[in-house]
Structure 1
Amino acid sequence: MTTPADMDVRAESVSHDERHRIHRIGWLRAAVMGANDGIVSTASLVLGVAAAGTSRENVLIAGVAGLAAGAMSMAAGEYVSVSSQADAERADLARERRELIAYPVEEHAEMTAIYVGRGLDEPLAAEVASQLMAHDALGAHARDELGISATITARPVQAALASAAAFALGALLPLLVVWLAPAGAMGWGVGLGSLVALALLGGLSARAGGASIAVAAARVTFWGALAMGLTAAVGALFGGVAG
């Protein structure tokens, strides 16, 4: 007989909604890094060039060149690095596939030991290993032995495109400020606008990943301010020397 308490438990189980964010890790990391680099590197570049006493037109030319070069560099770097990860994953899976064919008993014992280490008693662990390997032996070993799953597997093209697009969008902000701000306020406008954008970016990325918004915003703002300040100082120094 179903009691009201049973119905409440069943209702809670139906309405329970777990929203995990780990599936976003591939594109989120590349996009956040790209946008952050786009803002910081382009703002630092235009501040350094402007601090050297260069005209607005030359600052814009340098910034646009930095945007194009940075976006391509980010895309190439992400593609190469993530491709290396994907190559390593494929090599490990190929090795595991061969071992499953050559040493099925040993591989079953290996999986059993993994589940025992996670808290199952040995008979249950052996049964779990048997059922999972009967369903998808390679998938079970990839997930539980190698830590490779479809959720976090390397995707080079996705990472490259996300990184390049995010870099370009991030770089547009300081360039727009250079274009629109009065000449006397260009440096301050780029600096303050970039810091606000970095804080928003840190907060949005933290929200998407379920982390602390304040900590993420403070972290990216601090490092962005440091990079822009040092680059502006270098530009002013060499501008004074050249002058």
Structure 2
Amino acid sequence: MTPSSPQRSPPPGPRLPRGVRVAALVCFVLSSLTLFRSLQDLVLLAHLGELRDYASRPASAARELPSGLDPEVERRALEAQVSALEPMREPRALILVGLAGACFLCIGAAGHLLRRAGMLPREGMRQLLGRAALAAAFLRTVDGAQLAVVWRRMGTVGAELMDRMPGFADLKDPALAEQVRTAMPAFFSAAAVVHTALVAGLFLLLAQYFRSERVRALVAAQEPQLGRDA
């Protein structure tokens, strides 16, 4: 009776083309950053009550924290953030959990495509990456719409307390100061929209790239069995 031979790991496979690997690396980094930010926002949602208690303290109590802002500006901005988040707490938590899950799948699939060999077929990882990136693009868009509401509320507070903010308190022209004060809420909201468009748009481009027939053919060329079946 001969002992069974140990199971061998698959031999190193050929690398995917450079363009596919670069796109996978971009998706890996983007998904990692978005996942980290989503987890941060989930932690923030879990401590809204504590943040509201902190914001309700007198402004002098906030001087213990290192910040360049006036304590009253910091307190009012935090109060506005909490007030904007509380009505959307449950739906925002669901969006963030979904976004974190989609990013986690993107990280796993992109990491597999970057490796030379793996137990799972690359074609399956390509399909998973395309679908997960598409889901991340949609969820990040909804997340961005919620953030725009929060940032606009904070911009309104900034406009009200602009005279206490560094850089704005030195404005000598009353007309210019009034224009800045009027535009500040819209500017904050637009900043959130632009940031969302960049991140969600990049996720969408990556999803379209990995779902394209060209990339499918490139991945299939590295898997002979799949290439014969195609």
Question: How high is the TM-score relative to the length of structure 1?
Answer: 0.36
| Higher-RCO chain (CA-CA 8 Å, sequence separation at least 6) | 1
Question: How high is the TM-score relative to the length of structure 2?
Answer: 0.37
